[in-house]
Amino acid sequence: MAVDKLILILLVLPLLGALVNGTLGKKLSNALVGGIATGVMIVSFCCAVLVFNQTNDTKIIHLFNLLKLNDLHINASLQVDALSIWMTLIVTGVGTLIHIFSIGYMSHDKGFYKFFTYLNLFIFSMLLLILGSNYFVLFFGWEGVGICSYLLIGFHYSDAEKGMANSIAARKAFIMNRIGDAGLLIGLFLILGQFNTLEFTGIAEKLSLDPTLANGAIIGITLCLFIAATGKSAQIPLFTWLPDAMAGPTPVSALIHAATMVTAGIYLVVRSNFLFELAPLTKDIILGIGFATSMIAAFIAMRQNDIKKVLAYSTVSQLGLMFVALGMGAYTVAIFHVTTHAFFKALLFLGSGSVIHAMSDEQDIRLMGGLAKKLPITHLTFLIGTLAIAGFPLLSGFYSKDEILGHALAHSPILYGTLMISVALTAAYMFRLYFLVFHGKFRGGEQLESHVHESKAIMTFPLVVLAILSIFGGLLNLPGIFLKNGTHWLQNFLVAHTAGLEKIHAEHASNATILALMAVASTMTIAILLWAYYTYVKKNKLALADKELKGWQLFSNAKLYIDEVYNFLIVKPIEYLSKIAYSFVEIKVLNQGVFGFANLFGKAGSIIRYWQTGLLSNYLFWMVIGLIGLISYYIIKLQFWNF
């Protein structure tokens, strides 16, 4: 079947699913609603696979024209090339698994149909974002995922005890995203001003003809685009929304805040590689911020006690790592890490969802422990996910992290050294989490212990699939030491069929360097695994209660007080300004000004009222005066004119 028809089906089906579920879902049974939503996803995934098989060159599917102004054309059109189809595969594939998981996880929820409506709507927006062929369609999808994220985070807004907190978290996410969106808009305007087109291919073409075309503005454009990416992908300074977004249901965290939406920022930068390549300063900034974010987030995750918050900070840290890769110009490596991260992070989140489900919605890891025997499948898959993210040899995370570390070493050894610290911290907090949850004695009390049960098959099936992907995902982009052929498949695929990427030379380090790196990384990971095992299982060192934290642990648990700092620096001044605006502008100027002005007429009227005495003679008197005035006016007028 033709590519454009497949892509249209792929894009429109989630929207249709959302519409059907949204309008009719209340009356349909849970099974039917879930079936429609997941069925739509499966069909989209199959279409994506079919298109994937046929991907040769960049294909642009023109839908309709939005704006035509002299020579500025803004179209609604889609672009199918390796990058977009690969991201589509990730989104639809992982999305399908999460839909299947949600059918089981949300089965007791009253808003079942709403959940799936929002999920499908989100998938539609994300696909729009990825498949757009110009910045305008991308922006459309960008905003769409922001809205769906808001709706889904605050899904339980009417919950008795946590409803308010959920809404506030959703609002926080939305507002921080908006700050990024402002950057995106400004970037779009700058691009329009410089290139007079928003099409990716168009801009790339103009730049290839004349690389110095946008010399003055390119730093501004790339910075604005990067600000948008920090907003969406939770980098410094706009990252505090992501941990708070864990207030949403777990499948939401898995889909949006692990696998898809947060990678939109990465996608934006990779898509705009032709712009970023011309702005080395911005790339350095990206590198710096990505690096700082990954370090800080990893440090905070060390002492978090909510299972989802640990995973959230882990996401932020991994995204920082991806941005480090982008900052070094290794775009395909970043996409590779996006892929493997989608696998194991979704797996970890879904696994945590299964654990939370078993723990009757308790999320504090200090009340868990010894769940390995009670939740076998969850335990096994979670272990695989943890090993993958920590970079255990031969699992997917190992390969993608190694690529990034390899590029870091080539860039600067200091960067490599400090990045290793971040990787080490990642391993440390993930193993801490794993051991505290699944090993040792159960600390939650009798009541909770009796309810602990393995999840249904519908929930464990996606876990198993994701675990398999986490194990074998590394095969996508193997380095060249093991096999002669079939290596770096993803890199070659992306470079061959994506406009712009072919110009970026990927350096392949020598075999010896690669082996050395692998050895160092593996040793470190296994060492940390043993240390964690020793500390948390053998020595039974439990997580401290909040009151007993001291020193660096206090800082780590308190999220480095960043939220408080933001509150003090930004939120409080704005609230103060708004108070002033209300008390001064609203009350004094507007109320008293506008209403006072209206009252003026009333008061004036009540004074002038006394002129109407009702006495006839007065009226006649004033008539005579008026007559005098009228005649004298005309006399004077004529005097001045007739001379």
Partner 1 sequence: MNSVDPTFATSIDFYVILASILFVIGAFGVLIRRNMIVLLMCIELMLNAVNLLLVAFSTYYGKGDAQIFVFFIIVVAAAEATIGLSILIMAYRNNKATDAGLFKNLNG
Partner 2 sequence: MSIELLTLIIGGLTIGAALMVVISKHPIRSVLFLIVTFFLISSLYILMNAQFLAIVNIIVYAGAIMVLFLFVLMLLNLNKESEPKTPKIVLISSIVASGILLLVLIAAFKDSIQLSHVHLPPEKNIGLVKNLGNLLFDKYIVPFEVSSILFIASMVGAILLAKREKPIID
Binding site residues, partner 2, CB under 8 A: 617, 621, 624-625, 627-628, 631-632, 634-635, 638, 642
- Nearer to partner 2 among residue 606 and residue 617 (C-beta): 617
Name the binder of 609 from partner 2, partner 1, none, CB < 5-8 A by kind.
partner 1
- Which of 589, 620, 630, 636 touches partner 1 by CB under 8 A? 620
Structure tokens at 171: 């609002």
Q: Residues with Cβ < 8 Å from 105, sequence gap 6 or more?
A: 249, 250, 251, 353, 357, 459
- Determine if 574 is a binding residue for partner 1 (CB under 8 A): no
- Nearer to partner 1 among residue 545 and residue 615 (C-beta): 615
Give dist(CA 231, CA 333) in Å, integer.
22
- Nearer to partner 2 among residue 574 and residue 631 (C-beta): 631
Count of beta carbons in the 10 Å neighbourhood of residue 322: 29
- Nearer to partner 2 among residue 421 and residue 635 (C-beta): 635
- Which of 482, 576, 621, 633 touches partner 1 by CB under 8 A? 621
- Determine if 615 is a binding residue for partner 1 (CB under 8 A): yes
Name the binder of 635 from partner 2, partner 1, none, CB < 5-8 A by kind.
partner 2
Hunting for tokens 């709403």 — which residue is that?
114
- Determine if 632 is a binding residue for partner 1 (CB under 8 A): no
- Determine if 601 is a binding residue for partner 1 (CB under 8 A): no
Torsional class of 506: left (φ above 0), alpha (ψ -120 to 50), beta (otherwise): beta
Name the binder of 625 from partner 1, partner 2, none, CB < 5-8 A by kind.
partner 2
Name the binder of 550 from partner 2, partner 1, none, CB < 5-8 A by kind.
none
Give dist(CA 461, CA 457) in Å, integer.
6
The residues facing 306 across adjacent strands are 364
Name the binder of 72 from partner 2, partner 1, none, CB < 5-8 A by kind.
none
Structure tokens at 361: 């919605």
Nearest Cα to Cα of residue 278 among 216, 202, 324: 216
- Nearer to partner 2 among residue 595 and residue 634 (C-beta): 634
In degrees, rounded to 5, the angle at the alpha carbon of residue 482 between the alpha carbons of residues 481 and 485 is 95
Helix (H), strand (E) at residue 188: helix 163-195
Helix (H), strand (E) at residue 17: helix 3-24
CB 355 within 8 A of CB 368: yes
Alpha helices per DSSP H over 196-279: 200-209, 218-232, 241-244, 250-254, 264-271, 273-276
- Which of 567, 613, 630, 635 touches partner 1 by CB under 8 A? 613
Name the binder of 634 from partner 2, partner 1, none, CB < 5-8 A by kind.
partner 2
Nearest approach in angstroms of CB 593 to partner 2 is 41
- Determine if 550 is a binding residue for partner 1 (CB under 8 A): no
What's phi and psi for 234, nearest 5 deg?
55, 60
Nearest approach in angstroms of CB 593 to partner 1 is 28
- Determine if 570 is a binding residue for partner 1 (CB under 8 A): no
- Nearer to partner 2 among residue 577 and residue 628 (C-beta): 628
Which residues contact partner 1 (rule: CB under 8 A)? 609, 611-617, 619-621, 624
